[in-house]
Structure 1
């Protein structure tokens, strides 16, 4: 959780504690010198030098610099006598034009002399020595830098040695003779940004690992992979403070299970598991899926900083391209607020899967339109996933795509759109014609928050870009259907008839399960070929069910 503000000059009174520093080695005598999470709503203890600084709401409270035409907006804190220390902050660029920068400062001996770790346009991060406004690079790396994304920046100063980290990965290191002491600070140049969870600890101990010379998708120089595990905690008590930083720590070409344990908190960030990082597991540390939430709020129509919009796939809070991924005891969410926007394209994906052999156990998927996009790597590829004891909520097409997915003993919850007759569609499959298996719901409960009776469809056939070979396949079997499910539960989409799709049911119960002429039912013989094991087996005989 965010830290409360601590006194600026706490060194003499602070108890010495053992603290493992993000991206660095443990310091045996690290003490907290300063901390500010801006929860009190002001900037007391900070001195201003240009810009328009205020505290705003952002998953809690955060410091914001909102003046984009200022070439050197700075805010300083701390004691000018501080020497060896580490300063860390979460930083989110809001706008980052071609000449812009968003930075964290250390050992500021004046308003224009300091060490600086800067996020730059063009996917660049640079560690610099700045004297009287003139910058000299100490190290740099190329890595994704996007407006609207939180990053954790850290600078360590120890004697003449300076090191900079982004999300736990070493950016650069060098020696400098600017000043032996100085305050900390934050800075923007022709940019706007937010800052949160600023902490300063004494010691400044730094590792000897050299900076990376390749892209950020290569094996990291920070912790781990030793032990093939990592811990993520927002309060800094783990190896990383962001989930993506932990994913980046997985070695490229990974061939064994790498477990990322995530401590309680809301992690507002975009997360991608790349195709070259298979066998990754996310595990919520408490065993309660509600305690760990990974979320973001892009929608299909959300404007991108460089122009255009994100589109449906680009709206995903979490994208999974690495095969054999698993997730347990956590929540994936897209927190896009439909009522606050009028984009015209409001698909907002919580999770996009494009990989094979995925397992989700006790996982919650939250959103509205297009919550869970279960897809595959290509039209010819099969992407299998097993969802056991999960919770999926939404309203329009909230389980969709061409993937092969088994939903076993899950709750599928339809949210009300306030209509008396049409509160949306549970599924929108685009299963390719050569694949006999799309979505199977077995032993599930179809529930609603408040949708009217007879107002929700089980599904409609999605033909992406009019693809006539996308012949959706869905079976609901042995499940309990609430009264919100229509007696004619399948419907057409974009001129394609549901009757040409592969939709059927088998032995469902509940007030929404009445068998009618518009509800194709499997025979007992047919039902034996539509089981979880049949859906998931594929050519390798995969069977994760239990």
Structure 2
């Protein structure tokens, strides 16, 4: 059992929203050790997965929800001032994005409008709870993005069991100009659609309901050269399966993909983007990015704007320039997988940054592992400098540090692009390991002093001090 608790200050009675083995979620009142059921619902409880829990206390009415599904409503006597806590029985749990609000209650007869509190839980068979709530709230870890008053949530399910059957429909339902977190929980399935989160809808979260990123896939197959209805082609930006223009977006436990089939088409432009970001303060946690050429286009709203993103425990695959753009991005403990193009000498480029010269921070890969499916040894470049439309002010910046590089990485891993020399870019390495980490004259290395200024926190701080790093 893993439970979220709410209780009055100094009281021994409390409300409990409990996840249990056997796919059962219970809302209970516990008074002096006596448990009174207030509601029970059958709901998938995934060991090792994430679930979104919410308890609301409004006067004498207590209500609970799990992943946007109502569990029950009952009456109690607790005061509005109190504590939150965590309780486990033969289980362990992790919690993130804990949000506590105080305001007008939502109608008890309607679905919850405020956002739920995401909580990670690893349920186990029942037993006696090993802890009780205390006056000290549990550690919640870093808050990936600022949140205001809770606003809303919805559930997407292909089988019609949620609020929407498509992800875009759920995004469309987010209020324009929302000023707080809106969580869209997505149940297992492959959602073949293009999705856009507009700039007028910040604070949107996509959360895969099972905790396994492979279970929820958002995918489409446009390429740069794909003909558009009405004429013309999509171009690189237009090929994106998912476009994120809303600031403070987060995603957890799901897959973004572009499955354009290069072999089945003869286009002159085969860039096929899985995700295009043009926003700021983005967090991707346990997210997979799948594609070939130009998989992840990490950009910003304009050449004068900085778009920051934190990629934690993610997986990115591709072949040519598959992490590219002018955005500021930190890849922390990620797997970066180069796909083979069948060449013995050149199977592509991991990065193609176009960082603007006024921005000291482009792409940072720290504690990452660079792998391949079957690319030949000494056949993959770490990157090359991209100058969009020949822009001389796009001076790419990349650092690979404290990472393990596979044998597929070239001893001379940086390459020129479109007449621009990689030596004029800002490419560095620091304390890498693995067979592909050989230090040569063509591999600039940071000094220890320089390395202290190229950290995740430095990259992401900006002018507002943003820090989503654990």
- Equivalent position of 2:193 in the other structure: 269
Number of equivalent positions: 325
1:254 deviates by 0.5
Give the structure with higher Rg (CA): 1
Specify which of 223, 240, 252 is matched with residue 164 of structure 2. Answer: 240
Partner of 1:290: helix, strand, or coil?
Answer: helix
- Equivalent position of 2:397 in the other structure: 473
Partner of 1:333: helix, strand, or coil?
Answer: strand
How do residues 365-380 of structure 1 correspond to structure 2 at under 5 angstroms? 365-380=289-304
Note if 1:260 corresponds to 2:184: yes
Q: Which runs of 5+ in 1 are unaligned?
A: 1-221
CA–CA distance in 1 between the matches of 2:232 and 2:268?
14
| More divergent stretch after superposition (223-232 vs 266-275) | 223-232
Change (3 A) 1:511 1:439: same
Note if 1:451 corresponds to 2:369: no
What's the CA shift string for 1:369-422, capped at 9, x where partnerless?
Answer: 000000000000000000000000000000000000000000000000000000
How do residues 471-510 of structure 1 correspond to structure 2 at under 5 angstroms? 471-510=395-434
CA–CA distance in 1 between the matches of 2:319 and 2:445?
25
1:226 deviates by 6.2
Query: Structure 1 length normalisation: TM-score?
Result: 0.59
- Equivalent position of 1:348 in the other structure: 272
- Equivalent position of 2:324 in the other structure: 400
Specify which of 150, 153, 177 is matched with residue 229 of structure 1. Answer: 153
Is the Cα–Cα contact under 8 Å of residues 225 and 249 in structure 1 kept in the other structure?
no
CA–CA distance in 1 between the matches of 2:305 and 2:388?
16
Is the Cα–Cα contact under 8 Å of residues 223 and 239 in structure 1 kept in the other structure?
no
- Equivalent position of 1:541 in the other structure: 465
CA–CA distance in 2 between the matches of 1:414 and 1:487?
16
Note if 1:425 corresponds to 2:349: yes
CA–CA distance in 1 between the matches of 2:422 and 2:318?
21
How do residues 305-384 of structure 1 correspond to structure 2 at under 5 angstroms? 305-384=229-308
Partner of 1:499: helix, strand, or coil?
Answer: helix
CA–CA distance in 2 between the matches of 1:318 and 1:234?
18
CA–CA distance in 2 between the matches of 1:412 and 1:382?
23
Specify which of 501, 512, 519 is matched with residue 436 of structure 2. Answer: 512
1:344 deviates by 1.1
How do residues 63-78 of structure 1 correspond to structure 2 at under 5 angstroms? none
CA–CA distance in 2 between the matches of 1:410 and 1:491?
23
Is the Cα–Cα contact under 8 Å of residues 223 and 249 in structure 1 kept in the other structure?
no
Specify which of 291, 294, 297 is matched with residue 221 of structure 2. Answer: 297
- For the aligned residue pairs, the C-alpha RMSD in angstroms reads 1.1
Structure (1/2) with the larger strand percentage: 1
CA–CA distance in 1 between the matches of 2:376 and 2:114?
53
What's the CA shift string for 1:231-253, capped at 9, x where partnerless?
Answer: 00000000000000000111000
- Equivalent position of 2:34 in the other structure: none
Q: Which runs of 5+ in 2 are unaligned?
A: 1-109, 116-151
Partner of 2:286: helix, strand, or coil?
Answer: strand
Partner of 2:218: helix, strand, or coil?
Answer: strand
Is the Cα–Cα contact under 8 Å of residues 363 and 391 in structure 1 kept in the other structure?
yes
How do residues 165-204 of structure 1 correspond to structure 2 at under 5 angstroms? none
CA–CA distance in 2 between the matches of 1:395 and 1:224?
44
1:336 deviates by 0.3
CA–CA distance in 2 between the matches of 1:494 and 1:410?
29
